[in-house]
Structure 1
Amino acid sequence: MKKILLLCYLILIITAGLFSLPVDPSDEIYRYLDLWRKKGYIVSLPAVRPYPHQVLIKLLGQVENCGNSRARKNARYFLAKLVNRPQVFAVSPYQESFISKAGHYSNTGVDFSADGLLKPWLSISARGGGLLESNSLISEDVLPYGVRLERDMYHHRDQAKIGNFEANPALVSIVAFGTEEFYFQTGFNRTAFGPFLGDSVVVSEDAPHAGHFSLTWNGKKANFTKLLLALTAQTNSGTGVYNQKYLSLTSLDWQFASWGQIGYVGSIVYGGYLDPVYFIPLTDLMYQTLVQGDKSNSHIGLYGSLYLPAYLTWDLIFYADDLHFNDIVTFNWNTRWKFVLQSALSWSPGGRIFKDLGLEYTMVTPYTYTHPAHSYEAVSAEETWLPDTVNYLNYTHAGQNLGVSLPPNSMRLVFKTWLTPSPELDLDLRGSW
């Protein structure tokens, strides 16, 4: 019996990567789109992922028209999965494990998925199922520093236990209405923002799944997105589960030349109420929150890419919480500026074996992503920090950073490479310091 279980376990490991869905922003299709962006086969990519089938089909068509023979072959492979008869029901195994000196952690399960372009203006992508999670140690004790689990699951009080495992449900889904140029998406899924795959500083694809509502205009050389995420709040001391916490985000980017793209992003985190004024598309969120009484946590930032000769690409995001204009113009650097910086230089030849090589640097200044939730009902007029007050203003979701998984006052250097020794084997090697 143990040999049979071990064989099933190995089969799960081998086949887990063979099944993928566009609803997951870490899906392999986004890695190929990023590679083709760097090689110039795609004009521009919308800043917010995941993309609906309508957009993916358009982007893959650009690769078929502009890419080399290898890129066209890969694009046709993805197109065949997207435009064929909708995959109304499919079953696939899943397995994720970590081993460290502290012990081990694993979750194993079966996914049931529904995915496809139902109408030219309607697409769906959903995955649900159950996961058996080892309860020998909590995941945070075993995971490498700055690494989060690939799957989200709902932990409830009455989960079934099977030996050393706990059974928990897991569900993500998204529905898109519209065309490849103008579309609305809603779902419960992970979301990613910006030119960085993996753990990024604005909205990370590694952050837990959340309610997603987005409206996007995907032009030929410019993109505009209005995003609302329904988050989960906790108290100042990190306890409890509370709804009515939101991230509202607006982004606009423009590919001004074949060798460069620049964009602006603004966001606010607020809660305890839902304010319709933040849905207005053509206005500035920071201005709106000042008019509304400045009871939210606002951020602004710039992002962009430079496409250099010899298949080199430089990507950058600068995302700030507190920057004071008077301090900047008077050259006063003795201030508590709160910002994150993410920069990467990559070389992307896109060959048969060697796909991509990159060096990425991330810096998180002190106090970034944090924000006290003051009790406005305090007897004293002073802003009072109370441990049991629900914090709707810090940049977290369900107790985790919504952005990069680094704490304030930290930095990280990542070296990564992507190899494909054979069509059946992808190697993603990385080291971080």
Structure 2
Amino acid sequence: MKKLFWLFCLSFVFSFAFSQTSLDVNDDFYRQTQIWELQGLTSNLPQLRPYPLNVVEKILNDVIDNGSDSQASLAKEEYERIFSRPWKLYLDPGLSFKLSHEEHDNYSENSSVKDLHASFGIGGDLALHKLVSVGYKLGFYGQKNAFSEYSPLYTRIMNDCVHDPVDVGPFTVYQNWNLLVSVGNESIYGRAGLSRLGYGPFLSDGLAVNDSGYHSANITFNASRKSWSYASAYATIGATRNMGQEVDSNWLSKGKYLSFHAIKWHYFDKFHVSYYENVIFGPQNNLAYFTPAPYMAIQNINGAGDNLQMGLLFEVKPIKGLEWATDFFADDIELNEVFKFNFDTKLRFGFQTGLIYAPEESLCTRLSFNYTAIMPYVYAHWEYDSDEIASFTGRTWNRQNYTNAGINIGSALDPNSDKISLSATLKPKKNLTLNLFGNFIRHANSAEDFSDDEAAEYMLAKSGTYATNGTLYMNQMFSNPNGSGGTHVDSAWNKLGFMTSDHKMYVAQLGFNAEYTFARTRYGRFSLCAGYTFEYVKNNGVNTNLYKGGLMDNITVEYEADEKTFKDYKTPDGKTYSSWEDLKKSEYVRDAVNNARETWVSQLYNSINHYITLSIKYSY
């Protein structure tokens, strides 16, 4: 532990930049590769990221052979960075600040958070044979404060650390390990190990398998042909409670799996279409999902009890350097009502469309604009305590919702949200990279649309049974301990409910990240990095629990003389009710529901946040 402590302290002095490109799906190489593909310098890329080392080498050689002098020079620099040494020691520190001003109804306050954080270890890419390679990262990540305390809303940490930390002085240190072994050529290969996965043209912002999600133990396969390609992933992921971390410090468990596959048709250069399926299941493993057979058919064999989604991805490239991509992610759709042209029904889908432009020989190297919408209850699925009884609590392990260790596998947005995003990458000088971005996000809590009867059910439930915070932990069912089937929440099951709540949270973000790299010397290369994000949040707190339950603690259940036969319910105001329905409509319960609504609205506030990051990198 002493050696670990001193190594951690050293990480705040130097930063050794490193690469494990064949392992790290968020490596800059993948953003640059998208630019090269749009410019026609490389083609027929695998659908799932990251790529094995021989595919990385092929892409760089394509650009060196086909690109302009500037693009070829950039590809050669990337080649040297990735292939010059199969191992690199790395130390990667950072300093972050958050300055906040909050405006509440009766008061305002200012606050600040600062954090020191760093990752360190060894990593790299190793070619064992022209058909076999290894990407690895064996290290640690340390921080003083939780990432959410000093980061903008809907932003994810880029280090794979969630559980089982070690305290080293004032810092919390996590394991930060990943490893992938690849076997095959550039067209057909398999990979196995521990890593993040990415899919689709919206880098770190996709609906199905997002690059910014948490890592998994996975096996992937890729086959790329001239007119079509196929990719699949089979992964072990982490299960959480029905209410996530809120109800128990022991919030992670095993027995949850993800399977994903996609087939892409790209016969025409300017038009590509992909169909994909993914399924979340557990606690029993099911190797049938490892096959290329349709998941919908496999699920039906097992009783249609797994969490299945399907998607269509359209990519149109009208001119060189420009792509218009549209992704439709279908979770649960009531087709019978859609065929009747009734769209105020259960339509659980994600939709994303946008433009990506990569001009040649320009100050702006990449420009992206897109719109994303996540309907209510997308990604959110319940889990019963058993197959025989449709009851659950907040502590029930959920192996159905669309999370891995509590982090959404898809979009970082909550259900019932939409977002407009604009980003631009500029290179005013060869050694200076400037990323500009802006986001406008809306989010509504579907619990605000509950009817009085539904709200009463939530208030009368035991505290900690249901989430009513509008996140993916809020499901569409009531617990039913007296039956084998659940009871639907009508406003969730039979209505669309997109953005119909009275109070919406609005988030406006605007910022930049800049990196200046000094000329390389015999002793290595220094880089200076800085970032700033301005964030305005209106109605902060919409994503908190509205109905917290526990009202039955104050209500007496009376029985007949035999102490077994139900007699009535007695509320604290001295009134009695002979049925559950009468109790829900009682003045006592109605008042409690109204008070919960008023309390929830009263805690909403507006805030202005400033986020500043600084770091120094040294590479050798």
1:398-409 alignment to 2 at 5 Å? 398-409=405-416
Unaligned runs of 5+ in 1: none
What is aligned with 1:189?
195
Match among 90, 93, 110 for residue 92 of structure 1: 90
Is the Cα contact below 8 Å between 1:378 and 1:384 reproduced in 2? Answer: no
Whether the 8 Å CA contact 1:342–1:360 is kept in 2: the answer is yes
What's the counterpart of residue 35 of structure 1? 35
How far the C-alpha of 1:376 sits from its partner, in A, is 2.8
Q: Give the equivalent residue in structure 2 for 1:206.
A: 212
Structure 1 position 307 matched with structure 2 position 317: yes
SS at match of 1:308: coil
Deviations 1:240-273 (A, max 9, x none): 2111211111101121312121111011100101
**Residue 273 (1) aligns with residue 273 (2):** no
* 1:154–1:336 CA distance, 2 compared to 1 (3 A): closer
Partner of 1:58: 58
Moved more, 329-338 or 120-129: 329-338
Give the whole-Å Cα distance in 2 for the aligned partners of 1:231 and 1:214: 14
Counterpart of 1:227, as a letter, is: A
**Structure 1 residue 131, shift from structure 2 partner:** 2.4
1:360 alignment partner, SS class: strand
Give me the whole-angstrom Cα distance separating, in 2, the residues matched to 1:8 and 1:197: 29
Name the counterpart of 1:24.
24
Distance change (3 Å), C-alpha of 1:363 and 1:131: same
Alpha-carbon separation, structure 1, partners of 2:116 and 2:316: 40
1:418 match: 425
**1:133 matches 2:116:** no
Aligned length: 416
Alignment-mate amino acid for residue 128 of structure 1? L
Conservation of the 8 A alpha-carbon contact between 2:40 and 2:320: no
- Equivalent residues in 2 for 1:317-328, closer than 5 Å: 317-328=327-338
Does residue 238 of structure 1 match 2:244? yes
One-letter amino acid matched to 1:300: M
Which protein shows a greater Rg? Answer: 2
Deviation at 1:74, TM superposition (A): 2.1
Runs of 5+ unmatched residues, structure 2: 1-7, 101-111, 246-250, 441-620
Q: Which residue of 2 aligns with 1:255?
A: 266
- Shifted more, 338-347 versus 261-270: the winner is 338-347
- Match in the other structure for 1:169: 175
What are the equivalent positions in structure 2 for 1:353-432 lying under 5 Å apart?
Answer: 353-379=363-389, 383-432=390-439
Q: 1:20 to 1:303 in 2, by over 3 A?
A: same
Displacement after TM superposition at 1:116 (Å): 2.0
Q: Are the aligned partners of 2:218 and 2:233 in contact in 1 as well (CA < 8 Å)?
A: yes
Distance 2:269 2:328 in 1: 22
Aligned counterpart, 2:326: 316
Q: Retained in 2: the 8 A contact 1:22–1:29?
A: no
Deviations 1:26-76 (A, max 9, x none): 111101110011112222222210000121222223323432222222223
Task: Give TM-score scaled by structure 1 length.
Answer: 0.90
- For the residues of structure 2 that align with 1:120 and 1:97, how far apart are their CA atoms? 41
Deviation (angstroms), 1:82:
4.8
2:359 maps to which of 349, 352, 355:
349
- 8 Å CA contact 1:255–1:261 kept in 2: the answer is yes
Inter-partner Cα distance in structure 1 for 2:80 and 2:168: 40
Change (3 A) 1:420 1:268: same
Percent same amino acid among aligned pairs? 25
Match of 1:224 in 2: 230
Cα 1:316–1:104, aligned 2, differ >3 Å: closer, same or farther? farther
Residue 49 of structure 2 corresponds to 49
Give the letter for the 2:402 counterpart: Y
Q: Indicate conservation of the 8 Å contact 2:14/2:92, yes or no.
A: no
User: Relative to 1, partners in 2 of residues 1:7 and 1:428: Cα closer, same or farther, differing over 3 Å?
Assistant: farther
User: Does 2:150 align with 1:152?
Assistant: no
Letter in 2 for 1:170: N
For the 8 Å contact 2:198–2:209, the answer to whether it is kept is yes
Q: How far is the alpha carbon of 1:161 from its aligned partner?
A: 2.1
1: CA distance between counterparts of 2:185 and 2:126?
A: 14
1:301–1:318 Cα contact (<8 Å) kept: yes
- Note the alpha carbon deviations across 1:287-309, whole angstroms, 9 max, x for none: 11011111100000011311123
| 1:147 maps to amino acid | T
Looking at structure 2, the residues matched to 350 and 344 of structure 1 have their Cα atoms a distance apart, in angstroms, of 20
1:95, 1:106 within 8 Å by CA — same for their partners in 2?
Answer: yes
After TM superposition, give the deviation of residue 152 of structure 1 in Å: 1.4
Contact (CA 8 Å) 1:25, 1:205: kept in 2 or not?
Answer: yes
The 10-residue stretch of structure 1 (169-178 or 352-361) with the greater mean CA deviation from structure 2: 352-361
8 A contact 2:242–2:393 mirrored in 1: yes
Could you tell me which amino acid in structure 2 is paired with residue 236 of structure 1? N
Amino acid in the other structure paired with 1:161: V
When residues 315 and 106 of structure 1 are mapped into structure 2, their CA distance, relative to the original with a 3 A threshold, is farther
Letter in 1 for 2:374: V
Contact kept? 1:336, 1:366, Cα under 8 Å: no
Residue of structure 1 equivalent to 2:463: none
3-state secondary structure, aligned to 2:87: strand
| Maintained 8 Å contact 1:251/1:265 | yes
